[in-house]
Structures are given as structure tokens and as C-alpha cells.
Structure 1
Amino acid sequence: MTNEPITPGDLLGRDFATAVVMFHEAVAHRLGLTATDNRALDVLSRSGPTTAGDLARALHLTPGAVTGLADRLAAAGYITRVPDTTDRRRILLVVATDRMAARLQPLYEPFARDVAELFAAHSDDQQAAITAFLTDVTRTLRAHTERVTAPDGR
């Protein structure tokens, strides 16, 4: 950190990031999971059947950490492990869709509805600007996650 004054944009970004993390922590806690477990479920639900190694790379975790994570998710009934039909030596992690929908929908649906309403309240030009900004911020966050998780961590 520098000694430069914090700008309104810095404060907004930090407040937004904290709110996102706290929401996901609260959802995970309600489900008896960690926030990382919850993010793993999101990655798996979007990517489809995935190897533990691929999930580890997506989450920037060690393979050992993903093994523990997968054990917790399987024990809670959120995922199953199945042999890969193209290479039976590989095991895929698969989301138990019905269990996920039953547990997650009541927690996320009101939030998704509110965000959709907020978005719809803006003009097409504003929506395009919001979309571009959030896309850029997401790309920037991913780049800095790569930077921080790199071996030299800088």
C-alpha cells in the first residue's frame, strides 16, 4: 500500500469486494460449507464434469486441498465422483444437480432477481457500460489472482 489518499473508486471497489465475499461466506455457512467449497460448486456447475486437477487450477488451490474439498462436497451430497468414460483411469467430479438446486436456489434466487431488477432499471447504454466494466474488473481480478498465486507471489 502507498501513502496516497484512498479515492472514492478505491473505497467503492473495496466495499463491493467485501460485500461479495461476505455474501458467499454467509451462503456457504448456511450450507455447512466453506466459501471455497461454495465457489467450487459454482465452477463445477458451470464447467460440467471436471477432474480434481482441473478444479485445482480453476480455484488456484493445491491438488491436496481439492481432494479435501471434494471429500467434503461428496460427504454433503453435493457432488459425486464418477469414472471418465473416455479414460477410466481418470475420476470426474460431477455436481448433484437436484441437491444443489434444492439447497442453493432459495438462497441465490432472491439475490439474482434483485440484481436483474437493478440491471433492468438502467438504459441500454448504461447496461453496456456496466457489462464492460464488470467484464474488465473480472479479467483484472483473474490476472491478479494469477500474479499473487504465482511461485514468486508478486
Structure 2
Amino acid sequence: MTKTSTGGEDGRQALLWRLQAAMREASAQGVLISQTIADRAGLNASDLECLDLMQLQGPRTAGELARATGLTSGAITGLIDRLERAGYVARESDPTDRRRVVVRVRPESLTALNALYAPLQAASEDLNARYSDEDLALIAAFMERNIAMARDFIAGLKAAP
């Protein structure tokens, strides 16, 4: 085990526990934020999170969304139907293959959601301003690796009997 300036192996263990506890609490807070925003927007939390994934990943087919979320094709169809009825997404012909349908977020529909998130976004910007570009690059790389680890974990759980 690598010793650190935090006081040797015991210091490192304490630091690792602190990091794990902070990550778990951040995850819990993220879930609670999503539920609160979803409640205010008249959505369920899963629909809100999938809408966010669609914003991040761009237009996708229902099958691609199912693979990205781990939801069944039936669940994704219902989710897309609900988001379409609420005006957040549109089904469109794939420009590269007219036989396929892609789901696209309608950015103009996000004004009310963006307003709900605005105070959190402003607080995040204030927090981020405290860190150097190098710090932010390290944090971003850590988070990206953590996301990949979480995806692998989910896939492993789903593959297990």
C-alpha cells in the first residue's frame, strides 16, 4: 500500500473511506435531486434521467436507449411515449436510414426544467471556479473512470444469475 502525506497507511485508509463516503452521499443526493426535479416537472425520476442521457448522447434509437440504460425495449417504448406526450422529445426518421426512427430531445421544451436546475448550475459554477484547470482535468478524469466502472458493475450484475 502506498503511504501518503496524510499519515501513512492509516491516513490513506481514512482518506479512502472519506472519498467513498463522499461519493456515496453525492450519488444519493443526485438521486434525491432527480426525484425532486421530476416531481416538480410532473415526470418520474427514470424519465428525467433518461431525458438527460438523451441530451448528453444526442439522438438515439429506442434500441440504443435500451442498451444505454439497461431498460427493456417495452420500458423504453413507454418512457419515450411519456416524454413525447410531455413535449420533451420527438420521434424522427433517421437521416442515414429512413427505416429507423431516432428519438431527439426538443431543446425548446427544456426551458422550465432548465429554470429548476439554474440555482444548482450557478452553485456548481461557483464551486468549479475555485479549482485550477489541472484540478478540473483530474476530477473529470476520475469521474469518467468512475462512470465506466459503474457501467461495468451494472453489466456484471445484469449478467449474473
The count of residues paired between Structure 1 and Structure 2 equals 146
Equivalent residue number for residue 135 of structure 1: 144
3-state secondary structure, aligned to 2:97: coil
Equivalent residue number for residue 156 of structure 2: 147
Unpaired segments of 5 or more residues in structure 1?
1-5
Q: Kindly report the root-mean-square deviation, in angstroms, between the aligned alpha carbons of the 2 structures.
A: 1.9
Are residues 90 and 132 of structure 1, via their aligned partners in 2, closer, same or farther at CA, if it must alter by over 3 Å? closer
Larger Rg: 1 or 2?
2
Equivalent residue number for residue 9 of structure 1: 19
Structure 1 length as normaliser, TM-score? 0.84
3-state secondary structure, aligned to 2:99: coil
1:41-63 deviation per Cα after TM superposition (whole angstroms, max 9, x unaligned): 11222222211001111111111
> Is structure 2 residue 54 aligned with structure 1 residue 70?
no
Write the distance in 2 (CA, Å) between the matches of 1:51 and 1:130.
31
> Is structure 2 residue 80 aligned with structure 1 residue 61?
no
Question: After the TM superposition, which parts of structure 1 deviate over 4 Å for at least 4 consecutive aligned residues?
Answer: none
Write the distance in 1 (CA, Å) between the matches of 2:55 and 2:17.
37
Write the distance in 1 (CA, Å) between the matches of 2:24 and 2:43.
24
- Note the C-alpha offset of 1:125: 4.1
Unpaired segments of 5 or more residues in structure 2?
1-15
Equivalent residue number for residue 26 of structure 1: 36
Equivalent residue number for residue 104 of structure 1: 113
